[in-house]
Amino acid sequence: MAEDQDVNLKEEIKSIFTDYVRISSYTNTVGERLVEPFLTSWFSRQNYFKERPDQWGCHSIENDPLGRHVVWGMVRGSGGDTVVMIHHYDVVEINDFETAKPFALDIGKINTEIRSMRHKFDPESIRDLDSGKWQFGRGGADMKAGGAIQLALLEHYSRQSDLMGNLIVVCLPDEENLSAGMRSAIGLLAGLKRQFSLNYLLMVNSEPHQGTDPETVVLYEGTVGKLLPVVYARGSLAHVGRIYEGLNPLHLMSELVIRTELEMALSDRIEHEVTPPPSWLFFKDTKTHYDVSIPTSVQAYMSVLTLKTNAGEFLKTLRTKAEQAFETVLHRMNRSYGQYLEATGESQKILPWSVNVKTFAEIYREAEDRSGERFTNLYQEKLEQIADAVAQGRQGLPQSSFELIAFCLEYIGDKQPLIVIGLSPPYYPDVSNYRIPHLDQQTRRLLDHIPSFCRQKFDLSCRMTKFFTGISDLSYSYLDDSAGLNRAVADNMPLWGKVYDIPFGHIREIRMPCINIGPWGKDFHKLTERVLIEDVYYRTPRLLRFVIDQLLQTSTLKGCICCLDSD
């Protein structure tokens, strides 16, 4: 590419980046919608898109309480081969900027103004600020820099006449929350695939990479999964004076927490990539006031990151853990009861309880079998009410899940102490190219050559890892086991269908390998969030251009991949 074109690309990235960051598109607020007029006006100004109104647009997210849209654009060349680039435009709040708050979204001024907050910086942040090599500001690294690069590249390719394929950019809201944007964009991509007979080759995200070494670029060929299992324990009520007549659900849940919290056997590993073990985020009984009885039920939820364990498999493991916990508690209670009887001189007896663990799918089916349509209608009614409460921000998702579990329990015959296991939204499946059978040869060859490109062009080494560890929209780029996964998630998530769903069918339709190629970033979501300037304007766009050129074989790029260059 000629030098003046490089200068143009840099200027275009800078202009989009500056305006993009300035928009206060805070996650899960109406502010996200402010991006829509900005992007609409950007697309309308491009001659290419002005003449092709069917190749860009705002795709509305169904049933979205905030009325948000996914904004997209497509440059078409010959044939069906297509590269899809995605980025999210929601950012986290700026309260931590304190006195520098008025400049948090101003990339022209923030590097100077944030000096007033230096006393809060760690030594590395101070060094980076003083070096002048890093752009500070909210949403710069995570991830409007990546977004600006993608849009500028779309513009660049719209002026290319010999593109052998198509390039799509999808701009997404809600990534930091429930990925409503991406889950909706799957349907959009499936529709485009059918309408234009597209063959999706690769999905590229440009989240900032989290390297630690200035000499190494880090790319991710996949993304970790995230699960939010909810557990509801029902005990048996008793006055503390007659404690052996009851079963304390706090006891049950505590035992389960001890058996799973930070349990490395529950962490996933593939070679040297390892997820942190599970941790419980919430654990509370349902008592509303003090009295001398044990609580009737306890609710808890945990966060689980995965590399290979899908939702169904994890629920199975958690069930086993819950059964073991139940057994331990019964054993402990009987031992205590025996000692108590001995102390009081009574004859030995055994407590009546037995291990009782069920999934949400099982209690739902039991209620349905027992009460039929009356139950399913009432459940739908309840779900509608909860959906309204969630939409108005009056109720959280795990809390809503507990309410629906308790609702089902009213309709089943089993009144014994019980542990119920289910899932709360969101669910992010783990994906990785290394697991895709028959990955297209051309794509694999290209990905394998990225390190030599980095060495040649930037004199940097490049580390290709299997998973991006910071949860991303790439979770919905591929589906390993559609039928099994679909059932396990849909049947065990009380809010499924009305409040939350994942279009598994559409993912199956569009599925493609993925990669994350983004600039180096640090301290996302923090005051010291920053992105490496050279990556934003120079390295990342060149690397992305290399990938796109290789896959869509533009102009001079034929022959041995090792000798290729996108200049």
Least distance to Zn ion, CB of residue 184, Å: 17
Nearer to Zn ion, 21 or 247 (CB): 21
| CA–CA dist 505, 521 (Å, integer) | 34
Residue with the CB atom nearest Zn ion in the bound state = 142
Nearer to Zn ion, 326 or 427 (CB): 427
Nearer to Zn ion, 468 or 546 (CB): 468
Least distance to Zn ion, CB of residue 531, Å: 12
From the list 91, 307, 87, the residue with the least C-alpha distance to 204 is 87
Least distance to Zn ion, CB of residue 142, Å: 4
508 contacts 196 by C-beta, under 8 angstroms? no
Helix axes 540-552, 3-22, angle to 10 degrees: 110
Which residues are bridge partners to 306 per DSSP?
225
Token digits for 160?
Answer: 């290319």
Give φ, ψ of 481 to 5 degrees.
Answer: -130, 85
431 contacts 510 by C-beta, under 8 angstroms? no
Least distance to Zn ion, CB of residue 172, Å: 10
Least distance to Zn ion, CB of residue 532, Å: 16
The amino acid occupying position 323 is E
Least distance to Zn ion, CB of residue 499, Å: 23
Least distance to Zn ion, CB of residue 120, Å: 22
Least distance to Zn ion, CB of residue 211, Å: 16
Nearer to Zn ion, 207 or 529 (CB): 207
Nearer to Zn ion, 59 or 209 (CB): 209
Least distance to Zn ion, CB of residue 503, Å: 21
Nearer to Zn ion, 207 or 523 (CB): 207
Least distance to Zn ion, CB of residue 91, Å: 8
DSSP string, 310-349: -HHHHHHHHHHHHHHHHHHHHHHHHHHHHHHHHHHTPPP-
Q: What is the largest CA-CA distance in the chain?
A: 96
| CA–CA dist 13, 298 (Å, integer) | 52
Using alpha carbons only, give the angle 163, 14, 146 rounded to the nearest 5 degrees.
Answer: 65
The amino acid occupying position 329 is V
| CA–CA dist 274, 126 (Å, integer) | 31
What per-residue string of b and e applies to 264-277 under the rule 16 or more CB within 10 Å gives b? Answer: eebbbebeeeebeb
| CA–CA dist 90, 507 (Å, integer) | 23
Nearer to Zn ion, 88 or 545 (CB): 88
Query: 10 Å Cβ neighbour count for 395?
Result: 17
| Contact set with Zn ion (CB under 5 A) | 142-143, 207
Three-state SS at 423 = strand
Helix axes 311-344, 249-260, angle to 10 degrees: 130
204 contacts 63 by C-beta, under 8 angstroms? no
| CA–CA dist 370, 374 (Å, integer) | 10
Nearer to Zn ion, 91 or 404 (CB): 91
Nearer to Zn ion, 80 or 211 (CB): 211
DSSP string, 6-24: HHHHHHHHHHHHHHHHHS-
Nearer to Zn ion, 181 or 229 (CB): 181
Least distance to Zn ion, CB of residue 525, Å: 9
Which residues are bridge partners to 216 per DSSP?
461
Least distance to Zn ion, CB of residue 217, Å: 18
The amino acid occupying position 503 is P
What per-residue string of b and e applies to 214-250 under the rule 16 or more CB within 10 Å gives b? Answer: eeebbbbbbbbbbbbbbbbbbbbebeeeebeebbbbb
Q: Beta 514-516 vs 199-205: how paired, if at all? A: parallel
Least distance to Zn ion, CB of residue 397, Å: 20
Nearer to Zn ion, 206 or 296 (CB): 206
Nearer to Zn ion, 142 or 529 (CB): 142
Nearer to Zn ion, 454 or 474 (CB): 474
The conformational region for residue 163 under phi > 0 = left, psi -120 to 50 = alpha, else beta, is beta
